[in-house]
């Protein structure tokens, strides 16, 4: 044995093998790099490694059998001692090995101590579930794969401490050729789940694999081949959820898919999955909402006790009500759907969410909605709809810092959802963070330049920043949707042409309605000092207001009607005072409404030459937001007399 080792050393077999290992390591690292840079198949670096391993014994045999001489390679047996240069070759190989090892050590140290990419914020308990591939023969079954994917995301949101990227933000990765580590870095997650669904007759196969986002290594993989039924689908979702919770050290709150609000009817489940894909938070597509409601109704026809379908139908109906005209009949229908869901599954996640949005959008019961969102979050702490909804409620209640934290979390879990971007801008501007607000407005413009929501929030941010002209320009696409607000932005510019233009675009048909007749007359009279109405015009508009204005009406009965401004324009001091007394009750749990109401009261008392009372409400606005609120009044001649007062200066300097 000693002779064998001596001969191996003499023939430089150990040195050749050592040199080969170092060279192979560099080759494999190069293959790994090329795979990412050139978008080569994921098996490329594995193939190179396999070839390198297979080549090792071949190199060892060749090193034993052949020797390098001045005349080239010759079989070792025919090389005499005088011809052999094995010793010199060995020294050269030693140098090559040392240099190679130094380079390897240097690269390993550089990789170990390289600074982390600043844009990558990783939560170790975080996962992105990529869209499931549809492997069914029928293209019509694509909705089934998407529905299973969406349902799994909801189930995963029940894991405490686990960040789950929402559906909207992972859909952009459908069919992507990006490597898993790149996707994980972009989304800021520790792991990525890939999957495929194949539906064939009465069977379903679901294949999933959980991959480490840092090194592209498989943590776990499984294939489920079961008879097709909702119960089996829920069981599979539960197994996947438990594995992810264990792998990422999350804590599963409850038993996941085995829920009281589910169905065992496959036709109902199919219809429900189709409807879910049409129901998105912040969605203002009226046609998709109507299609979603119809699909939920199909699910309910198939299973009248399907609580989830009743609850999601109620949510879709309330979204239609809130975003499209506030039709009381739609709200009533939503209440009926919600009541049925409450009867069937009072503690279901979807029931809590539908109830919370009904209280928020339908009843303005912000305290009740806040408590209901808390219930939803106790069931599914990672549910983005609940996190965002709770943040909106918190903002309404005047806790702007806490609301911003909630919206930032929702945005982190759902970075591609557009509706959160303008909301973040508004939350920043309410805290006086104008630079951050502008960043989100620019991001919204880049994502969806035609969004009416984006234009509306851009106008609000510009208004709070004190840029009246920018606010007017931003709101222009909404002029016919909210003409009174457009006139408000025009008035802030103090530009006669803009005020006349804003009044002119007010649709004739809307001016004639009872709801907007008073608003149009009020807008004209508030514009008087800029556009100089004739005596006949003033008289006509005042007559309209007197005909429509009821001095005894309570502000809460018509909060959107600008009652206090109408009373002030008509010189009804007692009515203004009475409405001012009602204001605290009106705005008790609504900081956003308070800013609007206090602004109207400040203007009303200035129109009545009661400067001290006007300053009372400017101070109230200041306490809600901060001294930057004065920018709203900065260019308004109506408030000019206040600017020389000590109280105004104190508010501006942050003393008041």
pLDDT digits (tens, 9 = 90+) for 499-555: 999 999 999 988 888 878 999 999 999 999 899 999 999 999 999 999 988 888 888
Query: Which pLDDT belongs to residue 536?
Result: 95
- Average pLDDT over every residue of 469-497: 94
The CA distance from 403 to 410, in Å, is 11
Q: Higher confidence at residue 154 or residue 93?
A: 154
Query: What is the pLDDT, as a whole number, of residue 254?
Result: 47
Tell me how far apart the alpha carbons of residues 34 and 37 are, in angstroms, rounded to a whole number.
Answer: 5
pLDDT, tens digit, for every residue of 64-88? Answer: 666 665 655 656 665 555 556 666 6
pLDDT digits (tens, 9 = 90+) for 543-584: 999 998 888 888 888 776 789 999 999 999 999 999 999 999
Which pLDDT score is estimated for 208? Answer: 87
**Residues in contact with 445: Cβ distance below 8 Å, sequence separation at least 6, in sequence order:** 454, 458
Mean pLDDT of 110-115: 48
Q: How large is the average pLDDT for residues 648-656?
A: 76
pTM: 0.74
Domain boundaries, the chain: 2-113, 123-254, 274-417, 549-652
194: left (phi over 0), alpha (psi -120 to 50) or beta: beta
Q: What mean pLDDT is reported for the chain?
A: 83
CA distances to 234, 266, 328 from 226, rounded to whole Å, are: 12, 14, 46
Q: Cα–Cα distance between 29 and 50 in angstroms, integer? A: 13
Q: How confident is the model at residue 252 (pLDDT cuts 50, 70, 90)?
A: very low
pLDDT in tens, 169-226: 998 898 888 999 999 999 999 899 998 888 877 888 888 888 989 888 888 888 888 8
Domain 123-254 is of which CATH architecture?
3-Layer(aba) Sandwich (3.40)
pLDDT of residue 100: 67
pLDDT for the residue 183: 93
Question: What phi, psi does 188 have (nearest 5°)?
Answer: 70, 45
pLDDT at 37: 44
Class for domain 274-417, per CATH?
Answer: mainly alpha
Q: Is the pLDDT of residue 656 over 60?
A: no
Count of positions (residues) in the chain: 656
pLDDT of the residue at 120: 31
163-164/123-129 β-pairing: parallel
Q: What is the DSSP letter of 560?
A: T
Which residues have CB under 8 Å from 25's CB, separation 6+? 104
Give the pLDDT score at 107: 62
Question: Span 47-76, mean pLDDT?
Answer: 69
**How does residue 90 score in pLDDT terms, banded at 50, 70 and 90?**
low
Residue 251's region, left for phi above 0, alpha for psi from -120 to 50, else beta, is beta
Q: What's the pLDDT band for 229 if we cut at 50, 70, 90?
A: confident
Tens of pLDDT, residue by residue over 390-416, are: 999 999 999 999 999 999 999 999 998
Q: Does the pLDDT at position 32 exceed 70?
A: no
DSSP 3-state of 281:
coil
Place of tokens 């390289």: 114
Residue 649 has a pLDDT of 87
Q: Kindly report, residue by residue over 596-641, the tens digit of the pLDDT.
A: 999 999 999 999 999 999 999 999 998 888 777 778 787 777 888 8
Torsion, Cα of 344, 346, 348, 354 (10° steps):
100
DSSP state of 132: P
Do residues 346 and 369 lie in contact, with contact meaning Cβ atoms separated by under 8 Å?
Answer: no
- Interval 216-242 mean pLDDT: 80
Q: What are the pLDDT digits (tens) for 307-357?
A: 999 999 999 999 999 888 788 999 999 999 999 999 999 999 999 999 999
Nearest 5 degrees, angle CA 140-CA 144-CA 146? 110
């Amino acid at each position: 044995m000693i002779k064998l080792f001596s001969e191996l050393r003499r023939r430089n077999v150990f040195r050749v093998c050592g040199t080969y290992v170092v060279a192979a390591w560099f080759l494999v690292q190069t293959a790994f790099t090329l795979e990412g840079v050139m978008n080569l198949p994921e098996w490329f670096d594995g193939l190179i490694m396999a070839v390198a391993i297979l080549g090792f014994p071949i190199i060892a045999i060749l090193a034993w059998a052949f020797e390098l001489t001045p005349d080239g390679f010759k079989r070792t047996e025919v090389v005499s001692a005088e011809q052999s240069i094995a010793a010199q070759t060995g020294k050269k190989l030693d140098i090559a090995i040392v240099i190679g090892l130094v380079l390897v050590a240097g690269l390993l140290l550089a990789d170990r101590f390289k600074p982390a990419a600043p844009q990558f914020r990783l939560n170790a308990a975080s996962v992105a579930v990529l869209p499931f591939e549809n492997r069914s023969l029928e293209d019509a079954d694509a909705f089934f794969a998407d529905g299973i994917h969406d349902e799994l995301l909801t189930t995963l949101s029940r894991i405490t401490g686990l960040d789950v990227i929402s559906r909207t933000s992972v859909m952009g990765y459908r069919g992507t050729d990006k490597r898993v580590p790149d996707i994980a870095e972009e989304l800021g997650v520790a792991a990525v789940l890939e999957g495929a669904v194949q539906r064939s007759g009465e069977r379903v196969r679901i294949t999933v694999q959980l991959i480490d986002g840092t090194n592209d290594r498989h943590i776990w993989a499984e294939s489920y081949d079961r008879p097709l039924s909702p119960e089996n689908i829920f069981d599979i979702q539960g197994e996947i959820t438990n594995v992810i919770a264990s792998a990422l050290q999350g804590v599963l709150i409850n038993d996941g898919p085995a829920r009281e609000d589910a169905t065992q009817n496959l036709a109902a489940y199919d219809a429900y999955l189709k409807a879910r894909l049409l129901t998105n938070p912040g969605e203002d597509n009226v046609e998709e909402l109507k299609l979603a409601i119809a699909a939920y109704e199909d699910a309910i026809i198939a299973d009248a006790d399907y609580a989830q379908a009743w609850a999601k139908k109620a949510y879709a109906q309330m979204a239609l009500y809130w975003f499209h005209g506030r039709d009381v009949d739609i709200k009533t229908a939503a209440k009926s759907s919600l009541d049925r869901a409450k009867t069937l599954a009072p503690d279901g996640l979807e029931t809590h969410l539908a109830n919370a949005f009904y209280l928020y959008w339908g009843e303005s019961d912000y305290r009740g909605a806040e408590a209901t969102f808390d219930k939803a979050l106790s069931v599914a702490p990672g549910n983005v709809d609940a996190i965002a909804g709770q943040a909106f409620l918190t903002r309404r209640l005047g806790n702007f810092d806490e609301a911003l934290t909630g919206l930032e979390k929702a945005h982190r879990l759902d970075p591609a959802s557009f509706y959160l971007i303008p909301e973040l801008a508004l939350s920043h501007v309410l805290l006086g963070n104008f630079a951050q607000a502008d960043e989100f407005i620019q991001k919204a413009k880049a994502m969806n330049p035609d969004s009416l929501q984006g234009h509306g929030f851009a106008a609000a941010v510009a208004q709070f920043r004190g840029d009246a002209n920018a606010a007017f320009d931003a709101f222009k696409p909404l002029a016919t949707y909210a003409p009174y607000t457009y006139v408000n932005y025009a008035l802030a510019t103090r530009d006669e042409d803009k005020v006349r233009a804003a009044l002119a675009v007010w649709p004739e048909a809307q001016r004639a309605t009872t709801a907007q007749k008073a608003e149009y007359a009020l807008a004209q009279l508030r514009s008087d000092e800029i556009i100089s109405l004739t005596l006949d015009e003033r008289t006509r508009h005042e007559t309209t207001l007197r005909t429509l204005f009821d001095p005894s009406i309570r502000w809460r009965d018509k909060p959107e009607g600008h009652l206090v401004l109408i009373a002030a324009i008509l010189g009804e001091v007692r009515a203004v005072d009475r409405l001012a007394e009602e204001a605290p009750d009106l705005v008790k749990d609504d900081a956003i409404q308070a800013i609007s109401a206090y602004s109207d009261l400040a203007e009303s008392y200035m129109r009545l030459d009661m400067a001290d009372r006007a300053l009372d409400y400017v101070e109230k606005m200041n306490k809600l937001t901060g001294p930057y609120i004065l920018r709203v009044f900065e260019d308004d001649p109506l408030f000019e007399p206040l600017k020389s007062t000590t109280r105004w200066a104190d508010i501006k300097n942050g003393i008041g």
